[in-house]
Structure 1
Amino acid sequence: MFQEERLIAIVQKLNEKQRITVTEICEWLQISWDTARRDLIKLEEQGSIIRTRGGAMLPSISKEVPNYEQRLQLDTPSKQAIGRLAATLIHDGDYLYTDSSTTVRCAMESMRTRRNVVVTNSIDLAGMLTQKDEIRIHLLGGLLDNEQRLVFGARTLEMLSEYQVDKALLGTCGIAPHGLTTMFEEESYLIRQVMRKSDQVIVLADHTKFGKKLFHRVAGLEGIDMIVTDREPSDEMKEELHKHQVELLIAGEGEHDD
Structure 2
Amino acid sequence: MLKTERWAFILKTVNRNGTVSLRDLEQQLHVSRMTLRRDVNEMAEKGQLIRIRGGAQSVHQQGHELARRSKTTLNLPAKRAIAKVAVNRIQPNATIYIGPGTTLERMSEFFVTRNVRIVTSSLPVFNAFRHLKVRDLVMVGGFYREMSDTFIGSIANEMIQKLNFQASFISLNGLADERLMTANSAEGELQRLALEHAQQRIVLADASKFERNDFYTFYALARIDELITDSNLSPELQKKYQQLTALTVAPPLT
Q: Shorter-chain TM-score category?
A: 0.7 to 0.9
Count of residue correspondences: 217
Offset, 1:227: 0.8
The aligned runs of 1:1-258 (5 Å cut-off) are 15-16=10-11, 18=13, 21=24, 24=27, 28-29=32-33, 62-231=62-231, 232-233=233-234, 235=236, 238-239=239-240, 241-243=242-244, 246-253=245-252, 256-257=253-254
SS across alignment from 2:104: helix
Letter aligned with residue 104 of structure 2: V
Residue 13 of structure 1: how far off its partner (Å): 9.7
Secondary structure in 2 matching 1:97 = strand
Provide the rounded CA distance (Å) in 1 between the counterparts of 2:12 and 2:72: 27
Determine if contact 1:195/1:201 at 8 Å carries over to the other structure.
yes
State the superposition RMSD in angstroms: 2.9
Q: 2:99 touches 2:169 (CA, 8 Å); kept in 1?
A: yes
Note closer, same or farther for the CA distance 1:96–1:234 as it changes in structure 2 (3 Å cut).
same
CA deviations 1:204-229 (Å, max 9, x no partner) are 11100010111211111122110111
- What SS does structure 2 have at the residue aligned with 1:73? coil
User: For residue 91 of structure 2, what is the amino acid of its counterpart?
Assistant: H
Highest Rg: 1 or 2? 1
| Alignment TM-score, normalising by the size of structure 1 | 0.75
Contact 1:96 1:167 in 2 (8 A): yes
Q: Which residue of 1 aligns with 2:48?
A: none
Partner of 1:137, secondary structure, is strand
TM value normalised by structure 2: 0.76
Q: Distance in 2 between matches of 1:102 and 1:16?
A: 21
Deviation at 1:133, TM superposition (A): 2.2
CA contact (8 A) 2:121 2:152 kept: yes
- Which ranges of structure 2 fall in alignment gaps of 5 or more residues? 1-6, 14-19, 35-51
Q: Which protein, 1 or 2, shows the higher relative CO under an 8 Å CA cutoff with sep ≥ 6?
A: 2
1:52 aligns to what? none
8 Å CA contact 2:10, 2:25 repeated in 1: no
**Alignment-mate amino acid for residue 24 of structure 1:** Q
**Distance across 1 between alignment mates of 2:216 and 2:209:** 15
Partner of 1:54: none
CA offsets 1:62-82 (integer angstroms, 9 cap, x no match) = 233211111111111111111
- Please say if residues 210 and 233 of structure 1, whose CA atoms lie closer than 8 Å, have aligned partners that are also in contact: no
Q: Is the contact made by 1:86 and 1:107 (CA closer than 8 Å) also made in structure 2?
A: yes
Summarize deviations over 1:102-150 as a string: whole Å, max 9, x none: 1011123311102110111011111221101233111111100112110
Distance 1:92 1:211, change over 3 A: same
